[in-house]
Structures are given as C-alpha cells and as structure tokens.
Amino acid sequence: MGEVEDILKDYEVKKEGEAEILMLASNAVFFNPVQVHNRDMSIAVLRTFVAKRKEEYEELMNKRNNKSNKKGNQVETPVVNGDTALTSQHDEIGVVHEKETNQPTNEIEDLSKEETKTPSRKVTRELKPPIVLEALAASGLRSLRYAREVDGLGKVVALDNDKASIEACKRNIKFNGASAISKVEAHLADARVYMLTHPKEFDVVDLDPYGSPSVFLDSAVQAVADGGLLMCTATDLAVLCGTNGEVCYSKYGSYPVKGKYCHEMALRILLACIESHANRYKRYIVPVLSVYMDFYVRVFVRVFTSASEIKNTPLKLSYVYQCAGCDSFHLQSLGRTVTKNNSLKHAPGIGPVVPQECSDCGKKFNVGGPIWSAPIHDQDWVLSTLTDVRQMKDRYPAYNKITSVLTTVSEELHEIPLFFSLHNISGTVKCTSPSAVMFRSAVINAGYQISSSHCNPLGLKSDAPWDVIWDIMRCWVKNHPIKEQPRDSPGTAILSKSPQLEVCYLFRLQCPLYACM
C-alpha cells in the first residue's frame, strides 16, 4: 500500500463520469475540464448509435431471411462438408449493399462460421461490437469514458503522436482496472497514417483536435466503416466565422461571410468540407447532430458508400448572398434536378437568385460558401438521444448543458438554413425591438413557420421571405415612431416602402397578432 502511495504522490487524480485519470502536477499532457460538455454529448450520441445500429442490423437480417425463405421454396440449399452453404445469401450481400447503402453491411461475421440452418431456413449471424478510434487521445480520458460508460462497445483504439501522451494514456488504462485494460489499447502513431492504413475498419472515428480538423478529414472518411459514425470537432472559430476568410477557404474550401448566423455557418462549412472529402472515395455523409457549444463546433455524421448518391451532393450545397447594408441573406443552390422523358437528370443551379443591389435597402451583396444547406440534424436521432439522456441523468456530469442544447435543437426548423437576429433587424431600422413572442406571432399569423436557434439565444429561423420580415418591422415602426434617419442609411430605404402586409399588434401576450387586411 505504501508503494502505491509513493507512486501516486506526484499525480493528481481527476474523475469524470466513471473514468479516472492520473495527471502530473506539471500538466504535461493536455487535459481540458471544460470539454466535459463535448465528451458527455459524444457519449450520448454514441449510445444512440449503438442502439440504432442494432435496430438497422435486425431489420436487414429480417429482410434477408424473408428473401431466403421465398427462394428456399423453389431451390434446395446445397450442403458442403456437412455445413450449410447459402450461396444465394452470398450473392444477395452484394446486391443489398448497392440497394441499401444506409445499412451497416460490414458488421457481419465470416459467413462460413456464422451461417446456420433452421427448419424455417432462418439465417442468423452475429453482429460484431462496434470498434471505436480516438485519433487524438492525449490523456485517454475520452477513450476510457467510452469503454466504461457505453454498453455494447468492442475495442477502443487510442492514438497520439506524442510519446508523453501515450505513456500517460497507458498509465490511465491500467489505473482504471480490468474493464479498461480489456477494451482500450493505446498506440504511438500519426493518426493520418494509421487511418489510411486501416480503411473502413472502425465503426466510430472521433476527431477532437486543438484547432482545425481539416488535415485529418481525408483519412478519417476512409477509416469509417459503411454506416459508421464520424464525430468531428473544430475549435478554430475565428477562421470559420469570417475573421480570416482566406484562411478558411484554404483549409475548408469555403469562404465565410460575417453575420449573426456565423456559428451555424461554421457548422455548415465543416459539413460541406467533410462531404467533399468523402465524395472523392464514392462516399457521402448523413448528419445526425451538429452543435455549437462553448468555443467550438461539433458534428456527428454517418458515412456511407454509393457512387449514385454522391450525384446529389450539389443539391445539398449552396452559396450565400449576404447584403452589406441590412440583414437580408439569400441562398443559391449549387445544383438542381430536371425531369426529362421520365428520367431524372442533374444540372447546374439557375442563378443569380438576387439582383446586383439588395431589393430591400439598395446595397451590394457579399458572396460566401459553398456551405451545407441540407438539414444538419436528424430529428429522430435528436429525440432518441434526448430521451436516453433524461433516463440516465446521473451518468452525465454535464446533464444540464447537454439537455438544454438537445432540447433547443429538437425545436429548430431543420429544413431552414441559417437564421437572423431580432435585435439586429431592429437595429437596422433604428427602432426598439418587439418582443420575441410578438414577432413570432406576427410571422405565424402571416402563414409562415418560425423557431429559435441553438447557436444564438436571440436567433430566429423562419421560412418567411425577407419582404414579409421587413413588412412586419415596417408595421411595428408605424406604431412605434422613430427619429428621422440619414437618407442613405439601409433603414431609411427599407422604411420608405409601403408594407404589402399590414399587421396590427396587440400588446397583451394572451392575445394573438392578426392580419388587418
């Protein structure tokens, strides 16, 4: 006992969730306690992935068993060396892989070992536990939490190219006992080389670098198995949010524009970049959750292989036209589809979607992008994750934070890219801001949808066109007069136009807003 105390006297024990790590007083190995939000969110999504993966596998097996039963009524199954050789099933695997690219097809054990024959010709195969790769492990805390807190995981591989970090990681694995030793292994390696030499080997790949993940994305999209999960963090928000647009373009292949929606745009730039890397290998992504928290953005995407599906990528990307004078922004899709002679063909997008000058204030537009303009969340995944988190409250140190983010995400309009700020548009016309309840009611009563944004507590997402938004503000200013503004200001240009939609405001919250016309 005394020897153990002597060994531990130079270390401080840090506990998070069910994992404990030993940290030197000098803090030679990077450890950020604030990232508990990131790790908790990742564990929550990983639990959902394990459950969804099992559901999809069972559904796939049921489909194959049904096909096998139908074929079994017509063709005898050959027997080789006393074992059942379901040759038709071998052929079907490739067919299903092409038709159902969203299914985890690489998770099936060796058919010669797993196929069994029952009186009903039901085929049963064992689903392998998912293998996780943490590409930048440092102290190994994240890998240890995955191994100890997420049920149903197989091996967890922790990588780092820093010798001190790997030594600390191995020390922490031993410190967490047999459960960690049996699941977690640490390797001193360059993550990029390791992922390139292990293609489609990992069901989950976690990238959480300090800064930009761009240099790891090309190898990461190759290392993820079909239907697997890629979790990626970017902390270089100054670059992604438009402070250094040229640097953002060099790293992510997209030019950001400054706006209140900058953090959501950062998410969409990162998603577009991942999709671009995946497309080079006939792969594509399906985002299940994308969040902005604290000082970083974090995306969770599934990776699939399909040469035909990547043709739809231009439909998911758009350029952004941001007015330099007011808050109006417009999206220009990169591509479109055309139906001709009962066949669907892909074509370039038709543009521009805006004139040279803003129709609202008369100023010029700045152009940014391309960004991911398709949904950045999967509502089913978000609700499943939120339900699971609420049922396991005691197992999440950052429970309050991640439930608040997930709840807000679940209430977002997922089909609407970007958002605007009510305070900003009020500032443009130099008026006091209407309450959020009043403004939301006006939009709803005009026949449109509106929601909040998890990226900004003052942000509003809506499918209402900008002429409707500005009409609501014109009606507000009509009832709440403002001082005369300079003639060349954007606000003056906006208010000089007569509203096409008249809205009367009732100030009692229990009364809805209604259209006068």
List the CATH number of the domain containing 282.
3.40.50.150
Q: What average pLDDT score do residues 289-312 get? A: 96
Is residue 342 included in any domain, yes or no?
no
Is residue 32 included in any domain, yes or no?
no
CA-based nearest residue to 398, from 266, 263, 270, 298: 298
Q: Are residues 381 and 459 in the same domain?
A: no
CA-based nearest residue to 453, from 461, 464, 442: 461
Give me the number of domains the chain comprises.
3
pLDDT band at 459 (very low <50, low <70, confident <90, very high): very high
Q: Are residues 43 and 21 in the same domain?
A: no
Is residue 257 included in any domain, yes or no?
yes
Q: What is residue 33's DSSP assignment?
A: G
CATH number of the domain within which 431 lies: 3.30.56.70
Q: Residue 267: pLDDT above 80? A: yes
Q: Are residues 297 and 425 in the same domain?
A: no
Is residue 147 within 8 A of residue 181, CB to CB? The reply is no
| Range with lowest mean pLDDT among 109-113, 293-297, 502-506 | 109-113
Q: CA torsion angle for 26, 28, 29, 30 (degrees, to 10)?
A: 80
pLDDT band at 40 (very low <50, low <70, confident <90, very high): very high
pLDDT band at 63 (very low <50, low <70, confident <90, very high): confident
Q: Are residues 404 and 434 in the same domain?
A: no
Is residue 298 included in any domain, yes or no?
yes
> Which domain covers residue 18, as residue numbers?
1-27
Is residue 95 included in any domain, yes or no?
no
What percent of the chain lies above the pLDDT cut of 70?
A: 83
pTM for the complete prediction? Answer: 0.86
Q: Are residues 212 and 253 in the same domain?
A: yes
pLDDT band at 481 (very low <50, low <70, confident <90, very high): confident
* DSSP symbols for 147-184: HHHSTT---EEEEES-HHHHHHHHHHHHHT-HHHHTTE
Q: Are residues 399 and 467 in the same domain?
A: no
Q: Are residues 450 and 402 in the same domain?
A: no
Q: Are residues 253 and 383 in the same domain?
A: yes
| Range with lowest mean pLDDT among 190-199, 246-255, 478-487 | 478-487
Q: Are residues 288 and 384 in the same domain?
A: yes
Is residue 256 included in any domain, yes or no?
yes
Is residue 51 within 8 A of residue 115, CB to CB? The reply is no
Sign of CA dihedral 43, 47, 50, 52: negative
Q: Are residues 230 and 286 in the same domain?
A: yes
Give the H/E segment covering residue 378.
none
Is residue 170 included in any domain, yes or no?
no
pLDDT band at 25 (very low <50, low <70, confident <90, very high): low
Q: Residue 236: pLDDT above 60? A: yes
Q: Are residues 11 and 43 in the same domain?
A: no
Is residue 341 included in any domain, yes or no?
no
